[in-house]
Structure 1
């Protein structure tokens, strides 16, 4: 007996896509997608931009510290 492999898809079906699928979205769904996209991008920007921002703010403060003074714990 040969075994069969069945491919089952999870989530949305592909038959609902197209022009009709675009009309079915409400404003709340667009807002949810937009806010999710925005928060994902903000997380990446915050992750990679926090330390450089601290260094730039520190370099523009009075008295002007050297870079090694900003980066050393003492």
Structure 2
């Protein structure tokens, strides 16, 4: 069994190449922004409660950790 290799041609390098460069730049920007938003979502999800605890521990009057976490 022979494996098939497909080669994609890029077309002519002339006036039309600028449009494909802009497409690839737009595609890279879209991929980068999607990746960034996914990472920001994870960071926000796991960092929100520790951030609230840290801000609460640095307030006046300073509570102990068990006082801060207890519901009463």
TM-score of the superposed pair, with normalisation by structure 1: 0.63
- Please identify runs of 4+ aligned residues in structure 1 that moved more than 3 A: none
TM-score of the superposed pair, with normalisation by structure 2: 0.64
User: Could you tell me which of 47, 62, 66 is aligned with 1:64?
Assistant: 62
User: How many residues are matched?
Assistant: 56
The runs of 5 or more residues in structure 2 that have no matched partner are: 1-5, 11-16
User: Could you tell me which of 44, 52, 55 is aligned with 2:53?
Assistant: 55
Distance 1:42 1:59, change over 3 A: same
The runs of 5 or more residues in structure 1 that have no matched partner are: 1-13
**1:51 Cα offset (Å):** 0.8
Distance 1:15 1:43, change over 3 A: farther
- Distance in 2 between the 1:72 and 1:56 partners? 15
